[in-house]
Amino acid sequence: MSKKLLVLAVCVVLILTTVLAGCTSKQSNTIKVGWIGSLTGDQAVWGQSELNTIKMLFDEINNNGGVLGKKLEVIGYDTKGDATEAVNAVKRLVSQDKVVAIIGPNSSGSAIAISSILEQYKVPDIATVATNPKVTVVDGKVKPYNFRVCFIDPYQGAVAAGYAYEVLKFKKAAILYDVTDEYSQGLTEFFEKSFKAMGGEIVAKEGFKAGDVDFRAQLSKIKAANPDVIFLPYFYKEVALTAKQAKDLGIKATLMGGDGWPSDVLLQMAGDAINGGYFINHVSYDDPVVQDYKNKYYQKYGKWPELNGYLAYDAVMVLVDAIKRAGSADSEKIKEALETTNLQGITGKIMISKDTHNPEGKEAVVIKIVDGKYVFQQKYAPKQQ
């Protein structure tokens, strides 16, 4: 009997706790900023990099007097990379925690899902590495409260295709992509379109499912089609495995990819197999402009920041700049200030366009992997079509 009672009591407590979940105390001398991203799940490494960066920066800014005399406080929630979780997290941030702005997510699916809440509560969001065009513009109309600091997939695909065709003079390309991943699907579509438009030929297009670890069936098929370059628009873990397996099969084609590649883990896992590969990135890790941040991050956390960290850095800069120009911590005023952002971030020039809320004209960087190191090749912008 007492066991039943205990179980029932626990349940009642649990239900009550839901209702009382997180009554936060209010302090009017802080500016609350929300963050959402993956702290668990496959993309946890990136989410953690972002949140760590924001915490580090906020500490620094607060030690220098804060913004508008107030301290910055970040409230971060895990989305598991899941759009439903993102919606819950954002609802909590805007209605309960009363944040004035949100940084993140890095997942386009989450960024799109939260847009209606942002509009309802009039809280702006700055996405870090969400590259799906539909995050900020849907059917030609801009989403008033979504912003981002990164370039978008159509641009990235065009850069990759352009570099492969014009600079590296490759005429035949094969693509291997993750059919279940939004980023991979998007980048594939734009690469294919651009490459064909320039006159190139896609000799093979193979797919796999997230969670797969063996790509030799697809690679054998690709090998038989004899491409000059194989485009791998997905994330570093699968890229590393693909590269190793491609080498095993004796494939000689050049490997190329997008911003899902860069990570220390890629070099560690793929070792020799990835040498000679190219990828498109938002920033070059050797760029003198980023060294300060890079080293500070390493000192504090004992590992190098991931790509997301750099973009989170710029997102913070953009936000702080907007708050200063708005002259207040009012979310509507911050949103208006964001629309006229024009500053030099560590990842490049960030000039937010009022029509698209994207940083227009932001250059992409082409990086080649040589002897296990990232070597900056050039900044590249695709020719207009």
Binders of another protein among residues 55 to 84 (CB under 8 A) are: 77-78, 82-84
268 forms part of the interface with another protein (CB under 8 A): yes
Distance CA 86, CA 83 (A): 5
Could you identify the residue written with the tokens 């915490």?
Answer: 55
Question: Total residues at the site for another protein (CB under 8 A)?
Answer: 81
269 near another protein, judged by CB under 8 A: yes
Q: Does 41 bind another protein (CB under 8 A)?
A: yes
- Minimal distance in Å, beta carbon 344 to another protein? 31
**Strand 364-370, strand 71-78: pairing:** unpaired
Q: How far is the CB of 156 from another protein (least distance, A)?
A: 14
Burial classification of residue 383, based on how many CB atoms lie within 10 Å of its CB (0-12 exposed, 13-18 middle, 19 or more buried) = exposed
In whole angstroms, the minimum distance from the beta carbon of 80 to another protein comes to 9
For another protein, which residue of 167, 197, 213, 289 counts as binding (CB under 8 A)?
213
**Min CB(155)–another protein separation in Å:** 16
Give the other-Cβ count within 10 Å of 202's Cβ: 17
Distance CA 240, CA 246 (A): 10
25 belongs to the binding site for another protein (CB under 8 A): no
User: Quick one: which of 65, 167, 226, 249 contacts another protein (CB under 8 A)?
Assistant: 249
Beta-carbon contacts of 175 under 8 Å, excluding residues fewer than 6 positions away, are: 188, 191, 192, 202, 204, 205, 206, 230, 231, 233
Q: Which one among 112, 174, 239, 311 touches another protein, defined by CB under 8 A?
A: 112
H/E element, 33: strand 30-37
- Angle at 55 (CA atoms; ends 76, 183), nearest 5 degrees: 60
Q: Min. distance of Cβ 294 from another protein in angstroms?
A: 18
32: contact with another protein by CB under 8 A? no
Identity of the residue, 105 or 109, whose beta carbon is nearer to another protein in the bound complex: 109
E strand spans, 295-341? none
Number of CB atoms found within 10 A of residue 67's CB = 18
Q: Does the footprint of another protein cover residue 292 (CB under 8 A)?
A: no
The binder of another protein chosen from 11, 167, 197, 375 (CB under 8 A) = 11
Among 33, 74, 92, 352, binds another protein (CB under 8 A): 92
Helices (H) and strands (E) in the chain, counts: 13, 16
Q: Which of 239, 233, 242, 266 is nearest to 164 (CA)?
A: 233
Looking at beta carbons only, is 68 or 269 nearer to another protein? 269
By the rule CB under 8 A, 226 interacts with another protein: no
Contact call for residue 240 and another protein (CB under 8 A): yes
Q: Which C-beta is closer to another protein: that of 112 or that of 232?
A: 112
Residue 8 in the binding site for another protein (CB under 8 A): yes
Token pair for residue 279? 């990828």
Which residues ranging from 134 to 173 are in contact with another protein (CB under 8 A)? 134, 138-139
Site string for another protein, 336-365 (x = CB under 8 A): ------------------------------
For another protein, the closer of residues 84 and 340 by Cβ is 84
CB of 44 to another protein, least distance (A): 4
The reply to whether 22 sits near another protein by the rule CB under 8 A is: yes
Give yes or no for residue 91 binding another protein (CB under 8 A): yes
Greatest alpha-carbon pair distance for the chain in Å reads 78
Task: Report CA torsion sign: 103, 108, 109, 113.
Answer: positive
Q: In the structure encoding, which two tokens stand for residue 79, read together? A: 């989305």
Contacts for 349-352 with beta carbons within 8 Å, 24 or more apart? 350/149, 350/314, 350/318, 352/147, 352/318
Q: Of these, 105, 154, 157, 186, which contacts another protein (CB under 8 A)?
A: 186
Give the interface segment with another protein, choosing from 263-271, 326-334, 349-357, 376-384 (CB under 8 A): 263-271
Q: Which is nearer to another protein, 185 or 377 (CB)?
A: 185
**341/357 Cα distance (integer angstroms):** 10
Q: How far apart are CA 315 and CA 149, in angstroms?
A: 6
